[in-house]
Chains A and B, each alone.
Chain A
Amino acid sequence: MAVAALRPRALLWQALALGVVAGVIAVFSINAAHHLAARHIATGFGFLSAAAPIPIGESLISYTPSVSTYGRALLIGVLNTLKVAIPGCLLATLLGTLVGIARLSPIALLARLAALYVELLRDLPLLLQLLFWYGVFQTLPAPRQAMRPLPGVFLSNRGLRIPDLVWQPGFTGVAFALLGGIALSFFLARRTALAPGLAVRLGAFLPVLLLPAATLALYRPAFRVDWPALHGFNFQGGASLSPEYAALLTGLVLYTTSYVAEIVRGGLAAVARGQWEAGAALGLPRGAVLRLIVLPQALRLIIPPLTSQYLNLVKNSSLAVAIGYQDLVSIADTTLNQTGQAIEGVALIMAVYLSISLTISLAMNFYNARLARQAG
């Protein structure tokens, strides 16, 4: 282009832009060094190994306030972020697909309700929805009057209590067998997709059931379930989800569902009807047409915007701080208030989210590239 042709001017522009950015960074660094020296705050990440007096309510790894380090506290924050982000993405995809299909339903009332859902939840700030759900979980009855939607499940203002399966060594083998079964079925299903008999096509999915069942029979681990029970004013035993976690997950999933639904609807609607008819004309069974012809084309349209919704969900999980769920941002915020390490704290938050974002982007790009190759 015109600019490229003028070499010296191109160099000048670049030098100027770089100079401005470098200058701003230099001035900021000098000022920051000056301020930190005046406040006797040491720079660097040395504070990570100092003992952290942060009380942490829920954690996947062991933690003792004032004994464990800030580094460990922040790691708990990262794990808590993932603990809400991963189930959030899965549930939003599941629900979003259902709502998206419902929007295309020939049942008029169902389609209208799905449209209403999408319209309403997209046009309200997520933070407002989170505060609302947190309010809902807080006004649930106390443990003594807890709701029991299912036997062994308690819903109260202390959150959700569910029976917990106590992990036995044998389960690890079963889990590996399940993974192997899924891989084998996947392989077989691809081989038999065009097979004429329904029994053969369904048979490809048998390894998913058979392998874990065989391992279970081999190891015969004892099933021990930890049932929650009311003792005094609170519950003992079982696994629990805090009201903060439940509110955050509910809010994030319902909000993201409205976006995923639109993406799924758009993707499915974009595949021309003729594709279905052409597949049927080739004599393919309906399931094979969906799996081999329609879905690959729809998925190519669905995956890129779906990826950015996953990224949004991960970033939006940082709103946890507003309802007191201790995710990374919440713990980093407490840390930087206690230690004064503002720059390091914010840099850590950004680095973690950037890595999560890049990982999701890479994984989804890889999947998308594979789809594009398959569809040729």
Chain B
Amino acid sequence: MRSSLPVRIFSAAVTLALALILLDGLWHFFSWAIVHAVWSVPRGADGAPDTDLCRAAIGRGACWAVIGEKFRFILFGFYPHALQWRPAIVVALFVLLFALSLNPRFWRPALVAVWLAVLALVAVLMWGGVFGLDFVAADQWGGLPITLILATFGLALSFPLAILVALGRRASGLPMIRWLAVAYVELIRGVPLISLLFMASVMLPLFLPEGIDINKLLRAQLAFILFAGAYLAEVVRAGLQALPRGQQEAAAALGLSYWQATRLVILPQALRHVIPMLVNTFIGFFKDTSLVLIIGIFDLMTTGRTATLEPRWQGFGNEVYLLLAAIYFAFCFTMARISRLLERRLNEPHLPIEEPA
């Protein structure tokens, strides 16, 4: 249908105006980020970088020298400099694990074993102390590995909890268990994550017997598992609800017990349906890990913020934030795209996902 002339003139005018605004913005950014940017600064007599060149360019050009100077700190925090190949491998391992898990070809029970193996390997690489690796205490860890660890361990360790809670919420004839599951999910989802992190950082030490002192990172990880469990339980519940009742009844008719039916018939189908939703939830967790900044754990956000607070580099926050934004965006955008592809594939009746052998 052809639109009328006034409508077409209006669209053309809007397009032209938007294009002009866009070009102007792009030009300003290009001029700031490339043309007038300072890429590196000389070192002063004391060996420390001399940032005068950057200061002179403030308002006109970006100071990328701050990234060159600080990128290892932003990526790995206070991890011993000579040993930073270990967290670097950890980051690569996580990326591989994500790539593997997002490919339907690998959706089979063995994937659980792969996850456990990778998580164990991550722990060995970060801590060390075995196989001739030097021991590195958890309070020296920092940067991108912390962000990935909090999100991934949070997902993996809260998953069994989430499945139990989701099953408990649907258990007929078990009113007490259903009530506990509902209370847990609604309580956690009703309060901000930051209050759970406060709980882990200031309340948990009070709850533990004397002499047991859990490291701060581990406490935050516990809070994260508790948090993730409630949101994942809702995702799993959606998967369970999408299954026709006949599945449960058919399994029971075959003589399978509740747990056999759940393990062999219900969960494999229910979980498959919610994988795109699961990926979206994980993207949320990945962004939410940044909140540990508030309780002083050195994740990617905190190392970046710390880098901008050093007196010598103060005033170049936007450059650092751009780097952080690029890293977060790369992870979240890729996962969001794959999640959408999976969703489309799961919804297409003629192109079934390959069944596991």
Instruction: Identify the A interface with B (CB < 8 A).
Output: 1-5, 10, 13-14, 17-18, 21, 27-28, 31-32, 34-36, 106-110, 113, 119-120, 122-128, 131-132, 135, 311, 315-316, 318-319, 321-322, 329, 333, 336, 342-343, 345-346, 349-350, 353-354, 357-358
Contacts and interface: CB of A to CB of B under 8 A. Distances in A.
B14 A107 contact: yes
Contact of A321 (B168, B174, B294): B294
Contacts of B19: 109
A106 B3 contact: yes
A349 B191 contact: yes
B61 to A, nearest CB: 15
The range of chain B's interface size is 35 or more
A300 B176 CA distance: 33
B45 interface: no
Given A107-B14, A350-B191, A353-B190, A1 B173 contact: yes
B47 interface: no
Contacts of B329: 120, 123-124
Contact of B318 (A18, A28, A132, A350): A132
B257 interface: yes
Interface of B: 3, 11, 14-15, 18-19, 22, 168, 171-177, 180, 187, 190-195, 198-199, 202-203, 205-210, 248, 252, 257-258, 261, 283, 287-288, 290-291, 293-294, 301, 305, 317-318, 321, 324-325, 328-329, 332-333, 336
Contact of A342 (B11, B202, B248): B202
Contacts of B290: 125, 127-128
Given A125-B287, A127-B291, A322-B293, A109 B15 contact: yes
B346 to A, nearest CB: 18
Contacts of A120: 329
A32 B199 CA distance: 13
Given A3-B174, A329-B194, A346-B195, A17 B180 contact: yes
Contacts of A358: 190
Contact of B176 (A1, A14, A122): A14
B193 A315 contact: yes
Nearest to B171: A3
Contacts of A32: 206-207
A36 B205 CA distance: 11
